[in-house]
Amino acid sequence: MNLRLRSIESHDEALRFAPDLGRGLLESYPAASPELSGEELASAFLEAHRGAAAMFFLVAEGEAGTLAVAATAPWRDPVTLQTSPMLVALWVDPAIRHRGVARELVRELRRLVARHGFSTLLGRVPTGDDALLGMAERWGMVREQELVAARLR
């Protein structure tokens, strides 16, 4: 498979990929914003993180167009006050899944994040998603903390 990975640095160019990013955000956060379409959610996400140092956006393109996207957003530790990029969207076209595309996107994202001076790339794994957790661990990521939540509404 002939894919080209590239970093999207312009906000206007990133908006062109909002439908694909929206699919990734909705797969990662299905209940994120039920009143918004995936494209609207992606546009709001891109606007909210416009210019953030820890915001990175990669696309994998092939002859058929965009086949995969990966995006990070800044996450600030409330105790150390260190900001790190957190992988919040990783979407691969279902027709090409299980061929190493996601792994290559994350590998390139790690290089990009390191080149920009960050020492850590974070990721979120939904509770009970052992397959995703296993995949992240195979890619060299380790569990560091567990986040718990009390839903108040």
pTM: 0.87
Which pLDDT score is estimated for 44?
Answer: 93
Domain that holds residue 18: 4-124
Which pLDDT score is estimated for 60?
Answer: 95
For residues 45, 129, 101, 106, the Cα torsion angle rounded to the nearest 10 degrees is 60
CA distances from 73 to 4, 65, 131 (A): 23, 24, 23
Which pLDDT score is estimated for 146?
Answer: 77
Q: Could you give the number of structural domains in the chain?
A: 1
Residue 63 within a domain: yes
The CATH number covering residue 116 comes to 3.40.630.30
Which pLDDT score is estimated for 57?
Answer: 95
Query: Would you give the DSSP letter of residue 23?
Result: H
State the angle between helix axes of 18-28 and 38-48 in degrees (0 to 180), rounded to the nearest 10: 100
CA distances from 88 to 1, 55, 63, 103, 124 (A): 25, 10, 26, 15, 7
The pLDDT averaged over each successive group of 10 residues in the chain (153 residues) is: 90 93 85 83 94 95 90 93 94 93 94 96 87 91 84 84
